[in-house]
Structures are given as structure tokens and as C-alpha cells.
């Protein structure tokens, strides 16, 4: 597919996939973590929809990026907020788009600085072409084929919409 479906519809599919997956893996009482910014918007909705007890945690991976020495500090860095211990918890990590896998790599490094989780399940609304690391999502809204110079971004939080840009410089 080359066209992204409506985010709210995809969220429904992602939520039911995630529910099945948790049941299949016998995970009860997971800890949900959203990655700033898009991932947090989605995680807030998923958190309600799946009735997760523990407060939603959020991560800003700016301090763990591998391109920091190339592009510098993200001016809109937000505080990470992990009120619960991650030690021995089953974690659901939520992000909007999975492309290179570098954001997820950074997020996992950050989580491990807080402790050793029992497991991490990755939920992404869209997975697209362009992987650079061996990282895959466990629960998916939609898989999308995009050209290398196409960028897809979630804007929101109300309403959630996709913006696709073509980068002509490359």
C-alpha cells in the first residue's frame, strides 16, 4: 500500500492486535511508554482503550540519539517521565512511525538505564520501508511502502492526521 489510512482507524486495528498479542503472551498489567511526540498521543489513546492500570510513561529520546554530533540538540526536547519502576515489568513501547529503527534503539537504551524490563513489545501505527537496524514492530496499524525521499509524519493531537512530504533535495 502507498496510502496511509486514517490514524484513528489504524489505532483501532493496532489496539485489537495489541490485545490479542498480550493475551497470547500472557502479559498482565503491562507498563505503557509513549515516545515523544507522536507516540505519546497514540499511547494516551491506547492506554485508555486497553484499560492499563499504571500511569502512562513518556520518553524523549533526544539525549540518546545517535545523530546528536551531526545535527545537535533538539530544541523541543521534553522531559522523560517514568513514574514506575521498569525493573521486571512487561513494557509496551508505542511510536507513530517505524522507519530506520534508530528511535527505537535509542528508546530501548534509555529504558535499560532505568532498569531491566521483563520484556518490551513494540507497537507502531505505521511501519514503512527504510530499516537500518534489525528492529521490527510486534503490533502494527499498517505497513506502507514509501520511496526513500518520502517522509510521513503524524500531526495532532486532535485530530490525528498524516502529513506526507517529498524531500526533493536528495
One DSSP character per residue, 101-117 reads SHHHHHHHHHHHHH---
Site membership for another protein, residue 162 (CB under 8 A): no
From CA 99, how far away is CA 101, in angstroms rounded? Answer: 6
Residue of the chain from 75, 134, 168, 170 that contacts another protein (CB under 8 A):
75
Question: Could you identify the residue written with the cell 496499524?
Answer: 141
Residue window 22-61: x/- pattern of binding to another protein, with contact defined by CB under 8 A: --------------------------------------x-
Orientation angle between helical segments 38-49 and 7-24, nearest 10 degrees: 60
Binder to another protein among 2, 70, 145, 158 (CB under 8 A)? 70
Q: Helix count (H) and strand count (E) of the chain?
A: 4, 7
Closer CB to another protein, 78 or 153, in the complex: 78
Footprint of another protein on this chain (CB under 8 A)? 60, 62-64, 68-73, 75, 77-82, 109-110, 113-114
Amino acid at each position: 500500500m502507498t496510502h496511509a489510512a486514517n490514524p484513528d482507524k489504524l489505532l483501532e486495528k493496532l489496539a485489537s492486535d495489541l490485545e490479542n498479542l498480550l493475551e497470547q503472551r500472557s502479559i498482565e498489567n503491562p507498563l505503557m511508554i509513549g515516545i515523544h511526540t507522536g507516540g505519546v498521543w497514540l499511547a494516551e489513546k491506547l492506554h485508555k482503550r486497553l484499560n492499563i492500570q499504571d500511569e502512562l510513561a513518556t520518553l524523549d529520546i533526544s539525549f540518546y540519539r545517535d545523530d546528536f554530533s551531526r545535527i545537535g540538540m533538539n530544541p523541543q526536547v521534553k522531559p522523560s517521565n517514568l513514574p514506575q519502576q521498569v525493573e521486571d515489568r512487561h513494557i509496551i513501547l508505542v511510536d507513530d512511525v517505524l522507519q530506520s529503527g534508530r528511535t527505537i534503539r535509542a528508546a530501548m537504551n534509555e529504558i535499560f538505564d532505568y532498569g531491566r524490563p521483563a520484556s518490551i513489545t513494540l507497537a507502531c501505527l505505521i511501519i514503512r520501508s527504510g530499516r537500518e537496524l534489525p528492529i521490527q514492530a510486534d503490533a502494527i496499524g499498517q505497513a506502507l511502502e514509501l520511496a526513500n525521499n518520502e517522509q510521513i509524519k503524524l500531526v495532532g493531537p486532535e485530530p490525528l492526521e498524516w502529513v506526507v512530504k517529498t524531500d526533493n533535495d536528495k
